[in-house]
Structure 1
Amino acid sequence: MLATVLVLVLALVGVVVVRPGPVAEWLGDEPAGDRVATETPEPAPAAVLAAADANAPLPTAAGIRAEIDSLVGAAALGDRVNVSVTDVATGESLYGRGADDGTVPASVTKLVTGVTVLAARGPGYRIPTRAVAGPNPGEVVLVGGGDPTLAVDKNGFYPGAARLDDLAAQVKQALGGTSPTKLTIDSSLYTGPVHEPGWDDDIPTGGYGGSITALMTDGARSDVPRAKKDHDNGDHAAERVSQPDLAAGRAFARLLGIPTGAVKRGKAPTAGADATAGAPGSELGVVHSLPMVRLVDLMISDSDNIVAEALARQVALARNESASFAGAAKAMDAVAAELGLPADELSLADGSGLSRTNRISPSLLTDLITLAGNGTRPELAAIFGGLPVAAWSGTLADRYAGAAAKAGAGVVRAKTGTLSGVHAIAGVVTTVDGRLLGFAVLTDRTPDGQEGPRAALDRIAAALAGCGCR
C-alpha cells in the first residue's frame, strides 16, 4: 500500500516537474492557447526523487544514533534541539531527542493545517464565492466564502483560480434587463481579529502575512503583476492591501459598472425557502475555488501564509467552530485527535506558523507523516505533492548543494520553517538502501543568522539519506 500511495505521489511530482514553480504549472494547467506553438521541446526531465522500497532493510536505532547524534548537537542549532525519526512503512520510532516536547514550529505548522483540512473537507472540496440579490431591485451582495486565491480576471496570481469577472457575467445574466445599482460586500463568515496577536509586529506589513478576511483577491496582493514577477525570481513576499474585502468589492463593482465609492460592508439577506429568482437573498451566481488538494499544494510548496490561514478556517467551518484564529486552532486540534495524533503535543494559535505561541512536538509531525504515507488514509497523501525537494524546488531549491549535505539532494522532501531564532524542517527522506523515513527537527533557540542553522539541519537529513544506518 505504501508503494501504491506515497511512492506514487512522490514519484509523480518528482519525475514530471521540469523546473520549480507553482503547483498549477507543475500539473500542466497552463492554457494550451497561451503556449507558443513553435516553442522548442525541452528534453525529458531526469528523476529527482529516488524510489522508496518498502522491503528495503530497516535502519536500526543504534545506526541512526551513530549517524546523527553529533550533528544534532551542533552549536549552530542552539541549546534546544528536538528531533524525531520514524520508519514510514511501520511507524517504528528510530530516534528521539525531546521528541514529545512542544516546540515553536514556524511554517512546519502548515503540515498540520494541510492534513487537518484534507481530513475535514476532503481533497475535492471547493470554496464558493457567491453573489446574491440585495433587498431592492438592482442591488447585489458579494458573499465571501473564504477563497484566498480568488482572482479579478485571467491575470490573477494563482493559475486556475475562480474569477470575479466570471461571477459578474453570471450576475448580469441573472438580473436580465435590470442594471446593477448598488454593491454590498458580506465578509462576515470570519470573526475575530484579522491579525493573530502572537504575530511579530512586522508580519502584517512585511509582505508574508496580511489581514485575514473571508473575501479577498489574489491573497490580498495589491500589485499582482509585480508579485508574479517577484515570485518567479524566488521572492514570495508582496505588498498586501490593508482591507482585502473592500478591495475585492471595489474590483467587483467595476466589473458590474457600479461606482466603487458606494461599496459598503453589510450582511446578505436571508432567502426564504420559497424565494423566487431575484428575491432578496436568492443566488445570482457562484464561482468555486481550486479543489482543496490543489490549495494544500499551493500552501505547502510556496509556504503561502494567507492560504494557510484560509484553510485553517475551513477546518473550523467543517467542525462548526467560529471561523477565527481561535476557532480554527480548536478545530485543528480536534481533527488531529480524531486522526489518532497526540493532540496533547499540539497547541496552535494560527494555521500558518507565523505565531510564536504555536507549539508542536517532533513526534506529532512524524506520526502525521506516517499516517499520510502508510496508505491507511490515502487522501492525506496529498500533503507530499507540494513538499519542496532538496536542491530542486521551493524553499529547498538553493540548499543541499555543499559537500556536507549533497547526499540529501533529490532524496529529501520536506517543509521548512523559519522565524528569527527558530528553525525547523520536517518531511521524508529515502535512505541509501531505499527505506523511506519520516523526520522532524525543530529548534527554537538558535543563535542569530539563518545560514548556520539551515546548514546544520540539512546535514542531519543528508546523513539519513547517505546511510543504511544499520
Structure 2
Amino acid sequence: MTDAASSAPATPPAHRRGGIGSVLGRHRTAWLVTASVAAFTLLGGSAVALGAATTPAGAPAAVTPVYSPTPTPTPTPPPRPVSTIEQAASPLRTCSVGSLLSDGRFGTLQAQVLRADGQVMFERDADTASQTASSLKVLTAAAALNVLGPDFRASTRVVAGAEAGTIVLVGGGDLTLTRLPSGQEPVYTGAAHLDDLAAKTKTAWQAQFPGTPITRIVLDSSYFGGKTWGDTWPPTERGTGWLSHITALQVDADRADPRVFLSPRGDDPIGRAGAAFAQYFNDVPFEQGTAPAGAAELASVSSQPLETLIPQFLIPSDNSLAEMVARHVAIKLGVGNTIDALAAAIPRSLDVYGIDTSGLRVADGSGMSRNNAVAPSYFTALFVKIHAREGALGIVRDGLPVAGESGTLNYSNRFFGDNAVARGHVRAKSGSISSAYTLTGIIDAADGSTLIFAIFATGRVGAEARTAIDTLATAFYRCGGNLSNR
C-alpha cells in the first residue's frame, strides 16, 4: 500500500558545513532584513510575524524556519472485504414432467407449481384467467373468512305477524336448517332443527298471546333477492342432487332425503320448508310474504359457525352451501343480496390478502358457472397464504379434501393405479363442469418438500381429464423439490 507516511524518509538529512549556512552566519543582519521583507511581500497582511531570539555577540543567530502547511491527503477508502467462502451454485433441477404435457385429455392445459415460499418451479400459461369449476369455492371460503369471520352463523327466526293468530317464518339464509327431528343428524352434522324452532315458538307465543291459537304462517324469504338459479347452471344439477334453488328460506338445502348428500332437489324450496314447519302447528295454511317492520321476535335458531360450514362445503363440494355463504358475504359488504352482487363482493373481499384481484371474474360462489374466470397463478398465490395459515386461512387448509382419504378426492376415479402413491399427500380442491376440470392445492412431496400447485384442463374435455390431472399431480409429488420447468 502507498500512502504519504510511507513515501517520506525516516529522518531529515543533516546540513553540510559551509555554503549558504556560513554565508547566513556572517551576514545575519542583512539576511534578517531581507527575509522579513520577503516574508511580508509573500504573505501580505496575513503573514505571521516571526520573533528572532536575542543572541550573544559573536554567536550565530538561531533561525526559525518557515514551513508551508502540508496538504491533508485525500483518504483512501479501505478495500472492500472479499469473502473467502465459496458460494454454492443453485442446484439444477432435473426432474421433468414434460412427457405428460401433451396428453390430449387435458384439452387446453394450464398449470403452475410453487415452492412453499412462493418461488416458481413450473408453469404453463399460468397467468391466463380461465374457467375454474368448483375450485372457485376456495375463493368463496377465503372471502367469507375475511368479511364474516370464523364465528359467523346464519339464523332463522319466527316473529309475530300483522294479523291475529299469524306467525312469520323468516329465513336468514341458513340452508342447513333441517326438518329431521332433534336427535337425528342430516347431511349437515350439527345443523339447527326445525322442531326446536317450532317448540320455542309455541312457548313464546303462549307467553305473549295466551289463549290465541296460531292459525296462519307467512314464509319470508326476502333476505336473498334476485334469481334463484344461475344463468349457466344446468337444470339437471337439481335432479342429480348437486344444487338447489338458492333461497333464504329452505330446509336441508331442499334435499328429498336430508340424510343423503346427492339426494334430488325440488323446484319449490320455500314451499317445502313451509310444509315442514306447518306440521308442528296442526298443518295450518301457509303462504309467502314478508314480516312486518319491527315485528317482535318469538324464537330463533342458528347454523353452525362458518369455520364448520367451510369444510362442509369444500370437502364434498357442496354447491348450495357455497352459494349460501357467498350471498352472506355480499350482504355483509352492502353490495346487494343477489347472485349478481357476487361479481363485486368476492374480489373486494379478497383484497385483504394482497394478491391482485383485477383479473378475477366471478359469476357465482360455487364455480358452477362457465362465466367464472381465475388464473392458475392466482390460486397458487392464495394457497401459499393458505398453507402458511395467514389470518384465518388455516380453516381452508384443514377443510380441503385429501387424496384417497376424504371428499371428492376419495372417489374411486381419483388417484387410482400408479397414481395411488400420492394418496394422503395431496390436499386440494377439485372442480368439474362440462368445459373445465381443475385441481388446486398443496402437495407434501415424496422428498419432504411442500409444493403449491394448480392444474386446469379446459375446453374440449371430458371426465377422463380427472385422471390426466391426477397423473400430473402425482408426477409433481414424485419430483418434489427437484421439479424442473421442462
Counterpart of 1:144 (choices 171, 193, 211) is 171
Show the counterpart of 1:117. Answer: 144
**CA displacement at 1:362 relative to structure 2:** 0.5
Which residue of the partner structure matches residue 393 of structure 1? 406
State the Cα deviation string for residues 366-412 of structure 1 (Å, max 9, x = none): 111112222331x1111122212112221111222312x23311101
Q: Does 1:366 align with 2:394?
A: no
TM-score (norm 2): 0.76
Match of 2:310 among 268, 278, 296: 296
Q: Are 1:183 and 2:217 an aligned pair?
A: yes
Paired residue for 1:159, among 168, 171, 189? 189
Deviation at 1:198, TM superposition (A): 1.8
Aligned partner of 2:481 in structure 1 is 469
Shift in CA distance, 375/203, structure 1 to aligned 2, threshold 3 Å: closer
Which one-letter code corresponds to 1:105 in the other structure? T
> What are the within-5 Å matches in structure 2 for residues 331-410 of structure 1?
331-377=345-391, 379-397=392-410, 398=412, 399-403=414-418, 405-410=419-424
Q: Aligned partners of 1:319 and 1:73: how far apart in 2?
A: 44
- SS, match of residue 159 in structure 1: coil
Letter paired with 1:74: D
Which residue type is aligned with residue 419 of structure 1?
I
Distance 1:446 1:407, change over 3 A: farther
Q: Once the 2 structures are TM-superposed, how far is the Cα of residue 128 of structure 1 from its aligned partner? A: 0.8
1:423/1:446 contact within 8 Å kept: no
In the alignment, which of 293, 307, 312 is matched to residue 270 of structure 1? 293
3-state SS of 2:389 partner: coil
Q: CA deviation at 1:330?
A: 1.6
- TM-score for the superposition, normalised by structure 1: 0.78
Greater length-normalized contact order (CA 8 Å, ≥ 6 residues apart): 1
Pairwise CA distance, 1:258: 4.0
Whether 1:91 aligns to 2:91 is: no
Query: Percent identical across equivalent pairs?
Result: 35
Unaligned segments of structure 1, at least 5 residues = 1-59, 272-280
Mapped contact 2:229–2:245 kept (Cα < 8 A): yes
State how many pairs are aligned.
384
Deviations 1:156-210 (A, max 9, x none): 3322101111111111111113321211011001111110112234334442122
Q: Give the aligned partner of residue 460 of structure 1.
A: 472
Q: Relative to structure 1, is the Cα distance of residues 62 and 313 closer, same or farther in structure 2, using a 3 angstrom cutoff?
A: farther
Among 127, 147, 165, the alignment partner of 1:100 is 127
Asked if the contact 1:424/1:440 (under 8 Å) is kept, the reply is yes
CA RMSD between the two structures: 1.8
Mapping of residues 203-214 of structure 1, within 5 Å: 203-214=237-248
User: For the residues of structure 2 that align with 1:469 and 1:72, how far apart are their CA atoms?
Assistant: 19
- For 2:416, the aligned partner's letter is A
Paired residues of 2:403 and 2:415 also in contact (CA < 8 A): yes
CA distance in 2, matches of 1:400, 1:442: 17
Amino acid aligned to 1:93: V
Aligned-partner Cα distance in 1 for 2:128–2:316 = 27
Contact 2:389 2:397 in 1 (8 A): no
- The letter for the 2-side match of 1:418 is S
- Residue of structure 2 aligned with 1:245, choices 270, 276, 285: 270
Deviation at 1:435, TM superposition (A): 1.8
Decide whether aligned partners of structure 1 residues 437 and 469 sit closer, same or farther in structure 2, where only a CA change above 3 A counts.
Answer: closer
In the alignment, the residues of structure 2 paired with residue 62 and residue 222 of structure 1 have an alpha-carbon distance, to the nearest angstrom, of 57
Using the TM superposition, give the Cα deviation of residue 414 of structure 1 relative to its aligned residue in structure 2, in angstroms.
1.1
* One-letter amino acid matched to 2:109: V
Distance (whole Å) between structure 2 residues aligned to residue 321 and residue 250 of structure 1: 32
SS at match of 1:203: helix
1:68 aligns with 2:81: no
